[in-house]
Amino acid sequence: MTWIDLGNPSPLKGEITPYSPLRWSGSYLALDRPSPARFATIRAASMRERRTRREFASLTTQQLSDFLYASCATIARYESDYGFAIERRPSPSSGAIHPIHSLIVRNSSDLLERYCNQTHCLQLLDHLNDGVTILREMVDDVLDSQAATIVLLAAEPGKTLAKYENGASLVWRDAGALLATMAFAAHSLGMNFCPLGITGERCVRSLDPHRRLVGVGVALLGARRAE
């Protein structure tokens, strides 16, 4: 067995390494928050009924909005000395840092969008068509994406490392927690969700020339087909 030892994480005692988060460029699309009645269904769904489903129908913008709001939206925001705000979101995160960006490729689109957690909107990222082509190739090698929406998790490890020594394993744990939260949110909203084994690293690597981003997960999301 080969095991990569990522070290034992620990908060930096008496020392903070401030980090300036990556600035994304692109236009924004505001999303409507789900209605109280719609959001109530998320809380009522049974965890024991969740299962991975690998067939997908196209999502509407409102369905995607509901999913992102339920799984990723910022609930509270607090100033910090790290160079960025810490947050409370539906999924847990080491130090409330939340270093992972949720990037979206909708249905058959060749456009990449970033979910903005604090403002609940989608940011259309500029000139990244080549990255989307790479991503689709990686996804289709694993599972026919059909009409699925692709969810790509791109981590910014510098945020976690602003507080923690040996923090790499914490980023991976954040990714797992986020995927699980997304899976339960999708199930609660009557959507199909399938995490893939790939990291998406080849696509994420192309997004920032300074290599501040790493791929930590890919999943497929879609509406349920009529039976």
* 106-122 pLDDT, tens digit each: 987 889 999 999 999 99
| pLDDT on residue 13 | 67
From first to last of the 227 residues of the chain, give the pLDDT tens digit: 888 999 999 987 678 889 999 999 899 999 998 877 777 766 667 778 888 888 899 999 999 999 999 999 999 999 999 999 999 999 999 999 999 999 999 987 889 999 999 999 999 997 666 788 889 999 999 988 778 999 999 999 999 999 999 999 999 999 999 999 999 999 999 999 999 999 999 999 988 889 999 999 999 999 987 65
Closest CA to 159 of 17, 15, 64: 17
Q: Are 28 and 129 in contact (CB under 8 A)?
A: no
11 membership: H or E segment, kind and range: strand 10-11
The pTM (predicted TM-score) of the whole model is 0.93
Report CA-CA distances (Å) from 184 to 162, 174, 211: 30, 16, 31
Q: Are 18 and 162 in contact (CB under 8 A)?
A: yes
Distance, in Å, from the CA atom of 49 to the CA atom of 41, rounded to the nearest integer, reads 14
What structural domains does the chain harbor? Answer: 25-42+52-223 (3.40.109.10)
